[in-house]
Amino acid sequence: MSKSGLAVVSRRSFLLSASAALASQGLNPRLFAAPLLKPDEHPIVETALGKVQGVLSDNSRIFKGIPFAAPPIGTMRFHPPAAAQPWKGVRPAVDFPNAAMQPPTAYPISEDCLYLNIWAPEAKGTYPVFVYIHGGGFTGGRSFEPIFNGTQFAKNGIVCVTVAYRLGSLGFLDVGPLLGSQYAGAANNAMRDLVSALEWVQKNIAAFGGDPKQVTIGGESAGAKLTCLLMGVPAAQGLFHGMISESGGAERIWPADNAARVAHGYNDVWTKTGSKTGDLLTADAAALVAAQRVFIRDWPQHFPLRAEIDGTFVPQTPIRAIQQGSSHGKRLLIGTNRDESALFIGPHPAKDAAAADLGNISVEQFEPVYKRYAKVYPDMTVEQRRIRAVTAEEYWIPSVRVADAHVGGGGEAYMYRLDFSETDGRLSGYAYHSLDNVLVWNYPHKTAANAEAEAMIASQMHNAWAAFIKGGAPAASGLPQWPRYTTQDRATMILDTQSHVDQKPAEQELRLWDGVM
């Protein structure tokens, strides 16, 4: 086990599971009674749909489980999100909602999941807004992981919002080929959920002290990938002004014909259980998730459930849209961890990459590139080269391509690479996938052998992210000046115990991937 509590596990099992947490009760739209407690302890805010009452804690006003769309249940399954309904009275916003449907977890899950949570500074003011999209491989995760505690951002003068979206077959499966044209483009419903959440922010965040003209969206892993995809979605363009991508990229999307093949493949699994295709509309959601697990296990490509280029909501590849200026004038902070894939294939991977290890391309595409790694990195062990190449395929190369497209389309970008690592545990010496979470949210591991160094870099990264969200270059005490990224010098902040800026880092490796993906 690493000090983060994460064992070295298969990618699928990691992304299909979540850490245990205290159960919390979801709140459905209904009529509400008088305020719960004293207003000075439970502040009340009036939104466009009705009043909500939160909690005052640690100099932050916290509101949990606010609906931003109607529950996508019953006849609304597989449809785009509908508007949330108003309520009378004061709605308690003191408990986290249910998470989206996913494989069984220790916390409540439900199709009724389209809620958001807000941490706002206690003092009145107009603050920048950070809307965070959780990760989980498009099939798991939740907006209220313990680490996603927005108090640190609120204390830093930022309104922090964490949002949910439909997962797996309920959010990323195009059932149009199975159920008819009225369901066309259903693989994009999760992204439509996020657009709906951002529309809610535009309409309501000022009531919580947020500035709707200064909204940054961001996330880690799947949340970063969704952030990058949203950069190229026309319906999202006026809803945010900055982006943060931690271990992301814009490759996680299918052409429409691939999405149709995935739908039929899923349906083959579904009907083998004795169900009919039409039962997808009425069956218990847990049955859809159970079929999903079998389907993902047996499908020859990794991450088969993903968004699609449907010609309407997503008219072209997001990376092409970004190149053409869809994110023109916006600001991007983007980067990866040096050894992302060590978490999934282990610190001592015994075999070359298989299909289950690759996030974007086939083994046949990967192998010719990987064979050239020995020439670029002759001093690395075979194990180290395996980690390096798989990390590049899934995270680093896609992130570089988003940065290049963004600045080419008229945007401003800042690039980083996290090299900091723990000095004990099975992943000692590796800057593994998800390590950045505890640093960005400023909740470092207190039991790590190098806890003091981790606390220092956590403070630096959190403050640098906050500076970026507030509209400046990412900056923090102890970090060197962070230059803008250009395609000419590829200036990259290397985040470590002694951070520094590299020009064109790993340029030879980068060239190995020219023309691939």
The pLDDT score that the predictor gives to residue 515 is: 87
Read off the DSSP letter of residue 42.
S
- Pick 32 or 350 by higher pLDDT: 350
How far, in Å, CA of 58 to CA of 444, rounded?
18
- pLDDT tens for each residue of 161-201: 999 999 999 999 999 999 999 999 999 999 999 999 999 99
CATH number, residue 501: 3.40.50.1820
Residues in a beta bridge with 494: 417, 500
Residue 3 falls within a domain, yes or no?
Answer: no
How far, in Å, CA of 154 to CA of 117, rounded?
13
Q: How many structural domains comprise the chain?
A: 1
Residue 54: closest CA among 99, 100, 120, 115:
120
Stretch among 16-20, 56-60, 177-181 having the lowest mean pLDDT: 16-20
Report strand pairing: 127-133 vs 44-46. unpaired
Domain coverage including residue 136: 11-512
Give me the mean pLDDT over the 343-372 stretch.
Answer: 96
Active-site entry in 221, 247, 341, 434: 221
Question: Is the pLDDT reported for residue 7 higher than 70?
Answer: no
Residue 6 falls within a domain, yes or no?
Answer: no
CA–CA distances in Å: residue 372 to residues 97, 276, 393: 49, 48, 14
How far, in Å, CA of 313 to CA of 300, rounded?
27
The pLDDT score that the predictor gives to residue 38 is: 57
- Helix 285-298 × helix 256-272 angle, to 10°: 110
Length reported for the chain = 517
| 203: enclosing H helix or E strand | helix 189-204
Residue 183 falls within a domain, yes or no?
Answer: yes
Question: Is the pLDDT reported for residue 403 higher than 70?
Answer: yes
How far, in Å, CA of 55 to CA of 63, rounded?
7
Stretch among 31-45, 103-117, 262-276, 315-329 having the lowest mean pLDDT: 31-45
- Helix 363-370 × helix 382-391 angle, to 10°: 130
Give me the mean pLDDT over the 326-344 stretch.
Answer: 98
| 11: enclosing H helix or E strand | helix 11-15
Place of tokens 């961890």: 337
Query: Is residue 221 among the annotated active site residues?
Result: yes
Residue 213 falls within a domain, yes or no?
Answer: yes
Stretch among 30-44, 92-106, 246-260 having the lowest mean pLDDT: 30-44
Q: CB–CB of 164/287 below 8 Å?
A: no
Question: Is the pLDDT reported for residue 17 higher than 70?
Answer: no
> How wide is the angle at C-alpha 59 spanned by C-alphas 88 and 161, nearest 5°?
55
Residue 4 falls within a domain, yes or no?
Answer: no
* Lookup: tokens for 463: 């403050």
**pTM summary value:** 0.93
Q: CB–CB of 251/224 below 8 Å?
A: no
Place of tokens 């790993």: 506
Q: CB–CB of 336/391 below 8 Å?
A: yes
- pLDDT tens for each residue of 111-168: 999 999 999 999 999 999 999 999 999 999 999 999 999 999 999 999 999 999 999 9
Residue 172 falls within a domain, yes or no?
Answer: yes
Residue 78 falls within a domain, yes or no?
Answer: yes
The dihedral formed by the CA atoms of 201, 203, 204 and 205, expressed in degrees to the nearest 10? 50
User: How does residue 40 score in pLDDT terms, banded at 50, 70 and 90?
Assistant: low
Residue 1 falls within a domain, yes or no?
Answer: no
The pLDDT score that the predictor gives to residue 470 is: 98
Give me the mean pLDDT over the 394-402 stretch.
Answer: 98
